[in-house]
Amino acid sequence: MADSTAQLSRSRDLDKLLLRSGHLVGPNFEPGPELRDDLQQYARVLVVGAGGLGCELLKDLALSGFRNLEVIDMDRIEVSNLNRQFLFRLEDVGKPKAEVAAKRVMERVSGVNIVPHFCRIEDKELEFYNDFSIIVLGLDSIEARSYINAVACGFLEYDSDDNPREETIKPMVDGGTEGFKGHAKVIMPGVTPCFECTIWLFPPQVKFPLCTLAETPRNAAHCIEYAHLIKWDEVHSGKTFDPDNPEHMQWVYSEAVKRAELFGIPGVTYSLTQGVVKNIIPAIASTNAIISAACALETLKIVSGCSKTLSNCLTYNGAEGLHTKVTEFVKDKDCLVCGPGVLIELDTSVTLQKFIDLLEEHPKVFLSRASVTHRGKNLYMQAPPVLEEMTRSNLNLPLFDLMDKIPKDIIHVTGTTSKSDKKMSCLRKLRVVFKGIDGVTDMDTAGGV
């Protein structure tokens, strides 16, 4: 009987979930010891970020049946991390977060292997990311999220009916916190909205108009930003401001104090100066724990099928009472990152010039002054002048030839479009299909990312 061994096994509790059948489970759930073993042997999880969320995620995943984990983070440990990044101690300050975090979890949870990567996420080959069953994001930057999202969505391929090919879907679980609030999101590229589909959820960062800083400062933050963005450059011509240099910060602080005195504005403190200049987001252990736990749980569910999954975004707010909410966001079907792109059928004789003209009229595109790129190669560029000149001769050539006679492929175009009388620059992903070409069964839609 499994009972007696289960009591002695470290997966005593997890086995209940993985070995027993249930009614509220994922469609592909196949309970049994093989599932537990597969999770240990074959599932590979990448944790992006080894900060407040990353430390928790590594622990949670290591105790959720995963044994092959990797973590990537470019930062080193700072004293102000210690109130929540529980894998770090005072003597670790200055060491790479990824390395220390990996080591600590391996020390405590035997059988787990964690490979740390102390580098920028952009430093890795794209194929590095394709190696994982799932990617879990514990980041505080929108740019980094966008990057990983674009990479994961780049692996996505669509079949000829515009349905995502299941084997190319790279699931992501994204977590984020601020103070007592946080979110956890499950992203199945091509199925549920990708990060870019719902980027509007992130409010734009408040930036003060320069004229306010220069002429009509009203509060302490205005005085600080004046010292940081205007006065620094006036005084230190050429020297870039380094927010991690305490002397630089001290200088900004004392200039801000002077300015505040001049205008009779109260409230400039060193702590506020740091907060404004570094755009510090308050962070606490408990919220990181909650959000990471939700992300790790969803990771386990997606990989094992042992339960239904979050569909698709959880928000948690503990600031006023306790509120949790699940929102099912919908995919932006025209999303340039995760969508299949707009389908355009062409004759093989159509020239690049004619193609560009056609985009201006196309009801789904409406793009004027288009620049065209195919698999990273510039076919025609409107600017700068040097590039325009270099690519001008392509305009009279058939697009089919320029695309190396590939019958179906992705083209990226940038140009301007008019939305309610406002001109906006935009990027579009197009699927170009040439009519009357035989032997076309497959297409590679991953090109160009």
Partner 1 sequence: MAEPKTKYDRQLRIWGEQGQAALEKASICLLNCGPTGSETLKNLVLGGIGSITVIDGSKVEVGDLGNNFMVDDSSVAKSKAKCVCAFLQELNDAVKAKFIEENPEALIETNPSFFSQFTLVVATQLMEDSMVKLDRICREANVMLIFARSYGLTGFVRISVKEHTVIESKPDHFLDDLRLNNPWPELKGFADTIDLNVTDPVVHKHTPYVVILVKMAEEWAKSHGGSLPSTREEKKEFKELIKAWMIAMDEDNYKEAIEASFKVFASRGISSSLQQLINDNCAEVDSSSSDFWVMVVALKEFIANEGCGEAPLEGSIPDMTSSTELYVNLQKIYQAKAEADCLAIEQRVRNILKKIGRDPDSISKTSIKTFCKNARKLTVCRYRLIEDEFNSPIQPELQKYLTDEDYSVAVGFYILLRAVDRFAANYNSFPGKFDGEMDEDISRLKTTAVGLLSDLGCNGSTLTEDLINEMCRYGAAELHAIAAFIGGVASQEVIKLITRQFVPMSGTFIFNGVDHKSQLLSL
> What is the contact surface with Zn ion in residues (CB under 5 A)?
194, 196-197, 335, 337-338
Residues in Cβ contact with 4 at an 8 Å cutoff, skipping those fewer than 6 apart: none
Per the listing, tokens 């001769």 go with: 393
* C-alpha torsion sign, points 338, 344, 347, 353: negative
Smallest gap from residue 291 Cβ to partner 1 (A): 8
Smallest gap from residue 172 Cβ to Zn ion (A): 11
**Secondary element (H or E) of residue 399:** helix 399-402
* Cis-peptide, bond into residue 312, ω within 30° of zero: yes
Instruction: Work out whether 329 is an interface residue with partner 1 (CB under 8 A).
Output: no
Give the span between the Cα atoms of 342 and 261, in whole angstroms. 58
Residue 178: closest CA among 283, 278, 83: 283
Single out the segment in contact with partner 1 by CB under 8 A; choices: 108-116, 132-140, 142-150, 152-160: 108-116
Structure tokens at 349: 């004789």
Q: What is the footprint of partner 1 within residues 128-187 (CB under 8 A)?
A: 179-180, 184
Among 32, 41, 108, 423, the residue binding partner 1 under the rule CB under 8 A is 108
Single out the segment in contact with partner 1 by CB under 8 A; choices: 195-203, 270-278, 342-350, 370-378: 270-278
Q: What does 18 bind: Zn ion, partner 1, none (CB cut-off 5 to 8 Å by kind)? A: none
Smallest gap from residue 429 Cβ to Zn ion (A): 11
Q: Where are the alpha helices (DSSP H) in 9-70?
A: 12-19, 33-41, 52-62
Instruction: Work out whether 310 is an interface residue with partner 1 (CB under 8 A).
Output: yes
Query: Which backbone phi and psi does 316 adopt, to 5 degrees?
Result: -125, 130
Instruction: Work out whether 107 is an interface residue with partner 1 (CB under 8 A).
Output: yes
Single out the segment in contact with partner 1 by CB under 8 A; choices: 58-66, 197-205, 386-394, 417-425: 58-66
Give the span between the Cα atoms of 198 and 202, in whole angstroms. 8
Residue 155: closest CA among 165, 141, 140: 165
Residue 204: closest CA among 295, 279, 152, 147: 279
Give the span between the Cα atoms of 71 and 115, in whole angstroms. 6
Instruction: Work out whether 205 is an interface residue with partner 1 (CB under 8 A).
Output: no
Q: What does 7 bind: partner 1, Zn ion, none (CB cut-off 5 to 8 Å by kind)? A: partner 1
Single out the segment in contact with partner 1 by CB under 8 A; choices: 86-94, 225-233, 354-362, 401-409: 86-94
Q: What does 335 bind: partner 1, Zn ion, none (CB cut-off 5 to 8 Å by kind)? A: Zn ion
Instruction: Work out whether 314 is an interface residue with partner 1 (CB under 8 A).
Output: yes
User: Active site includes 211?
Assistant: yes
Among 113, 279, 286, 425, the residue binding partner 1 under the rule CB under 8 A is 286
CA distance to 67, 68, 111, 135, 218, per residue, from 43 (Å):
8, 7, 14, 11, 55
Q: What does 338 bind: partner 1, Zn ion, none (CB cut-off 5 to 8 Å by kind)? A: Zn ion
CA distance to 60, 98, 299, per residue, from 65 (Å):
9, 21, 11
Q: What does 197 bind: Zn ion, partner 1, none (CB cut-off 5 to 8 Å by kind)? A: Zn ion
DSSP string, 272-299: HHHHHHTTPPP--HHHHHHHHHHHHHHH
Among 120, 165, 218, 333, the residue binding partner 1 under the rule CB under 8 A is 218
Residue 64: closest CA among 85, 86, 43, 50: 43
Nearer to Zn ion, 14 or 197 (CB): 197
Q: What is the footprint of partner 1 within residues 342-401 (CB under 8 A)?
A: none
Q: What does 196 bind: partner 1, Zn ion, none (CB cut-off 5 to 8 Å by kind)? A: Zn ion
Cβ atoms < 10 Å from Cβ of 124 = 14
Nearer to partner 1, 420 or 441 (CB): 420
Beta bridge partners of 311: none
Instruction: Work out whether 318 is an interface residue with partner 1 (CB under 8 A).
Output: yes
Among 126, 214, 326, 440, the residue binding partner 1 under the rule CB under 8 A is 326
Among 214, 280, 343, 390, the residue binding partner 1 under the rule CB under 8 A is 280
203 by Cβ neighbours in 10 Å (0-12 / 13-18 / 19+) ranks as: exposed
Instruction: Work out whether 59 is an interface residue with partner 1 (CB under 8 A).
Output: yes
Per the listing, tokens 């083209």 go with: 411
Smallest gap from residue 237 Cβ to Zn ion (A): 43
Active-site residue identified among 153, 194, 211, 223: 211
Instruction: Work out whether 82 is an interface residue with partner 1 (CB under 8 A).
Output: yes
Smallest gap from residue 199 Cβ to partner 1 (A): 22
Q: What does 194 bind: Zn ion, partner 1, none (CB cut-off 5 to 8 Å by kind)? A: Zn ion
Smallest gap from residue 19 Cβ to partner 1 (A): 8
Give the span between the Cα atoms of 358 and 201, in whole angstroms. 34
Length of the chain: 449
Active site residues: 211
